[in-house]
Amino acid sequence: MKPPSIVVLTGAGISAESGLGTFRGPDGLWNGIDYREVSTPAGFARNPAKVHEFYNMRRRNGLAAQANAAHVALARLEQEHDGDFLLVTQNVDRLHEQAGSKRILHMHGDLGRVRCTECDAEHEWLTDLSTDTVCPSCGRSGGMRPAIVWFTEMPLYLNEIGTALKNCDLFISIGTSGNVSPASYFVAEAKRHKAATVELNLEPSEGATLFGDARYGKATEIVPAFVDEFLAKTAKGSAPT
Ligand code: OAD
C-alpha cells in the first residue's frame, strides 16, 4: 500500500513553549499592540520607525529561541515517514529549520529576511532594521521592510499549498487558533479531497468541529506522542489515522 501523503500546518502555539508569544488570548501579542499599526502596509507608511521597533524585537527574540520537542518530533516525522510530506507554517521564526525540517513553506514570511520596497530585492537579514538602512541592491534608504506577510497582503506559496492539500491523505493542524484565512480554510480543503484530519492544540480552535480527530494539550507533549503513535502504526502498514 502506498504510504500516506501528509500536510502539516503549524501556528504560534508550537513555538509558545520556546518562549515566543502567541497572538491571541489574554497574553497574546495582539492584546497589547494594535496590529493595524505594526502589521499592515498602511501602518508602515504612517510610522515605519514603530514597525521596525516591533519587528526588531521579534527578530531578536525569534532568532535567539530554541526549538522544542514538538519541532523536533515534526522533523523526525518528515525524516522517518516514507510518503510525501509538506510542512506549512504561519510562523515567521526558524525553529522548524533549527529542529531539522527540510520540506517547509513559510506562508507568512520569514523574520530573517527583508525586502526593499524601492527595488523589490530580498535579502537574508539577521540584525535590526531602521529607516536609515540602505538596500544592498539599489543603494536607497527608507524602503527596507521585514519580508513578512502583513494583514491585507497575499500569503506566499498558495499554489504549492493548494496542490499539496488536494493530494494529501492526512492533514495535521498544530498550535493555531484558526482565526486567520486562508490557513483556516485548509482543513475544509483537505477534507474535500478525502484526507483524514487531526487537530493538535492546547484547546479546541475556531474550526475544531471540522476535524475528524483531535488531541488537546501542550505541543511539547501531544506532538511527540502523536508522531510516535503514527510512525509505529504506519511501520506496521496500517491505515493513516
Ligand atoms: P494564535 O495566537 O491565533 O493561536 C495560537 C494557538 O495556539 C491557540 O489556539 C492556542 O490555544 C494554541 N496554543 C498556545 N500555547 C500552546 C501550546 N503550548 N501547545 C499547543 N498549542 C498552544 O496564533 P496563529 O493561529 O498562529 O499572522 O495566528 C495566525 C496568524 O495570526 C499569525 O501567523 C499572525 C497572526 O496575526 C501575521 O502576523 C500575518
pLDDT tens-digit readout, 190-220: 999 999 999 999 999 999 999 999 999 999 9
Percent of the chain past pLDDT 90, that is, above it, reads 93
pLDDT value at position 115? 98
User: Quick one: which atom of ligand 1 is closest to the CA of 17?
Assistant: 18
Contact 196, 240 (CB under 8 A): yes
pLDDT value at position 27? 85
Q: Where are the beta strands (DSSP E) in the chain?
A: 6-10, 85-89, 104-106, 109-116, 122-124, 144-148, 170-174, 196-201, 213-216
pLDDT band, residue 3 (cuts 50/70/90) = confident
pLDDT value at position 25? 81
User: Are 180 and 236 contained in the same domain?
Assistant: yes
User: Are 198 and 221 contained in the same domain?
Assistant: yes
Q: What is the mean pLDDT of residues 33-51?
A: 97
**CATH for 73:** 3.40.50.1220
Task: Identify any residues that bridge with 10 across adjacent strands, giving them in sequence order.
Answer: 89, 174
Catalytic residue among 52, 106, 108, 193: 108
At 151-186, the pLDDT tens digits run 999 999 999 999 999 999 999 999 999 999 999 999
The range of the structural domain enclosing residue 38 comes to 21-64+110-148
54 lines ligand 1 (CB under 6 A): no
How many C-beta neighbours within 10 Å does residue 158 have? 12
Contact 197, 173 (CB under 8 A): yes
- 236: three-class secondary structure by DSSP: coil
Q: What is the mean pLDDT of residues 105-118?
A: 98
Instruction: Calculate the average pLDDT of the chain.
Output: 95
176 lines ligand 1 (CB under 6 A): yes
User: Are 119 and 1 contained in the same domain?
Assistant: no
User: Are 7 and 90 contained in the same domain?
Assistant: yes
pLDDT value at position 224? 98
Of the candidates 51, 49, 38, 44, which has an alpha carbon nearest to the alpha carbon of residue 117? 44
User: Whole-angstrom Cα distance, residue 60 to residue 126?
Assistant: 8
Q: Which triple of cell numbers denotes residue 160?
A: 504549492
Q: Which triple of cell numbers denotes residue 43?
A: 501602518
pLDDT band, residue 236 (cuts 50/70/90) = low
Overall domain count for the chain: 2
Catalytic residue check, 108: yes
User: Quick one: which atom of ligand 1 is closest to the CA of 155?
Assistant: 39
User: Are 72 and 126 contained in the same domain?
Assistant: no
- 231: three-class secondary structure by DSSP: helix
At 45-81, the pLDDT tens digits run 999 999 999 999 999 999 999 999 999 999 999 999 9
User: Are 88 and 160 contained in the same domain?
Assistant: yes
pLDDT value at position 147? 98
Residue nearest to atom 39 of ligand 1 (CA): 150
Sign (positive or negative) of CA dihedral 110, 114, 116, 119:
negative
User: Are 202 and 225 contained in the same domain?
Assistant: yes
User: Whole-angstrom Cα distance, residue 85 to residue 103?
Assistant: 7
113 lines ligand 1 (CB under 6 A): no
Residue found under cell 516514507: 82
Residue nearest to atom 36 of ligand 1 (CA): 23
Find the 28 Cα to ligand 1 centroid distance in Å. 9
Q: What does pTM read for this prediction? A: 0.96
